[in-house]
């Protein structure tokens, strides 16, 4: 009796493709797209985590008895946020011997701090804490996902113009940024004509 190898169930043997063939190019494009999408997903997760960290920092610094915040109070919270890495940077500087280059951690912290200072100068978007209702909604947020953020009104504040805040994003019921104001108005106009 001769022993036969068992056939693989449900699988066809893989064909070896020529590197310059059309099918090989499709595989390369498919793999490149997969990598690109994975990279975009990781960047989106990182950005969402950074925003959640920022919003939870603001939420942790809210005075417990206040019903709304004034602009100077908001700027005081943001000043603490921007300078929060100062102690770590100074520790890294004192730990470094004279004439030695900066550590990777110190360089990274300085870059983060510089970027946040620059963002604060140009204008940073935060929930509208000057409004009682928005502050109450912001306190109710559990900070687990950004899905709740669309129900809040956001304002843009800047360190250069501390007496001014501009509404940058109004709250939406659906979470979509689209402007749906025009459609109901058109429907009302058409109904008036008939």
pLDDT digits (tens, 9 = 90+) for 87-136: 999 998 888 888 888 889 999 999 999 999 999 999 999 999 999 999 99
pTM of the model: 0.70
Cβ 82 vs Cβ 117: under 8 Å: yes
**Positive or negative CA dihedral for 115, 121, 123, 128?**
positive
pLDDT at residue 169, as a whole number: 84
Which one, of 169, 167, 171, 149, lies nearest residue 47 by Cα? 149
Edge-to-edge strand ranges of the sheet holding 124-127: 124-127, 154-157, 165-169
In 19-161, alpha helices (H): 22-60, 71-82, 86-95, 104-122, 132-140
Under the banding of pLDDT at 50, 70 and 90, the label for residue 191 is very low
d(CA 182, CA 61): 39
CATH architecture of the domain with range 47-177: Up-down Bundle (1.20)
What residues does each domain of the chain span? 47-177
Where residue 175 falls (left for φ over 0; alpha for ψ -120 to 50; beta otherwise) is left
CA distances (Å), origin 11, targets 15, 18, 23, 27:
12, 21, 19, 19
């Amino acid at each position: 009796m001769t022993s036969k190898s068992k056939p693989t169930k449900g699988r066809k043997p893989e064909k070896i493709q020529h590197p310059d063939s059309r099918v090989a190019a499709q595989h390369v494009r498919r793999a490149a797209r997969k990598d690109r999408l994975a990279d975009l997903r990781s960047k989106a997760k990182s950005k969402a985590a950074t925003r959640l960290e920022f919003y939870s920092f603001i939420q942790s610094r809210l005075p417990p008895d206040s019903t709304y915040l004034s602009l100077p109070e908001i700027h005081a919270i943001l000043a603490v946020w921007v300078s929060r890495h100062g102690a770590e940077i100074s520790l890294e500087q004192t730990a470094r011997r004279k004439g030695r280059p900066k550590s990777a951690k110190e360089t990274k912290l300085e870059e983060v701090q510089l970027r946040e200072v620059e963002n604060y100068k140009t204008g940073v978007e935060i929930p509208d804490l000057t409004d009682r209702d928005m502050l109450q909604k912001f306190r109710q947020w559990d900070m687990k996902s950004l899905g709740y953020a669309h129900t809040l009104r956001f304002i843009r504040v800047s360190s250069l113009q501390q007496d001014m805040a501009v509404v940058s994003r109004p709250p939406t019921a659906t979470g979509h940024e689209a402007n749906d104001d025009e459609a109901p108005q058109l429907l009302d106009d058409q109904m008036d004509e008939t």
